[in-house]
Homo-oligomer: A and B are copies of this chain.
Amino acid sequence: MTVLPKSVEKVIEEFAKLPGVGPKSAARMVYHFLRSPYKEASKLADMLKLMDEQVKFCKECFNLADSEVCAICDSPVRDKQKVCVVEESLDVVAFEKSGVYNGTYFVLGGVISPAEGVGAEELRFKELKVRVKSIEGNVEIIVATNPSLEGEATSNYIQDMFKREIKEGRVIITRLAMGLPTGADLEYADQLTLKRALEGRVKV
């Protein structure tokens, strides 16, 4: 016997579509709303609507923004000759939290992944080309895709895209260093990480 009202079941189904959420935890979350004496569900609903209405993508870097151009692209103190290419906006948040980067970003929207049906045309490569073209002087493109096979393929694609500019010396492309993360245990490091750490060893 189905005992849940239809409207509740629908919301549970919707929550279960979120990344990392199974049907059981989705039900727990929705029950949290139903238990609450205040109309928490409606409150969240209003916030979601507002988000959908207000959130824009920066027309320069495609990061999430409140306005046409995001605060980073708009900032006079950020180094415009550096463009850090990331997969998604969350990666920008990670960089900004660390405070180690003073350049600008470009959000690609994902990585090339034939397995998941994501081809180059799904990503913002054309927009990246336009963006780099619009920058005066030399440009360093820092490819900060995740250290995965897909990230690697995407990095190669970008390198290919700027072949001519690289030859002309107008563009250089760099990648984030790969190696052991801080606090890692050699014993548990995977083969590829060890290989990269060895290849990239530095003189002390």
Chain A residues with CB under 8 Å of chain B are 1-8, 10-11, 14-15, 17-21, 25, 27-35, 39, 41-56, 63-66, 70-72, 88-90, 92-93, 96, 99, 109
Contact = CB atoms under 8 A, between A and B. Distances in A.
A64 B33 CA distance: 12
A98 B153 CA distance: 49
A15 to B, nearest CB: 8
Contact of A4 (B4, B7, B31, B64): B64
A32 B55 contact: no
B6 A66 contact: yes
A90 B64 CA distance: 37
A31 B89 contact: yes
Contacts of A29: 18-21
A93 B4 contact: yes
A192 B8 CA distance: 36
Nearest to A21: B29
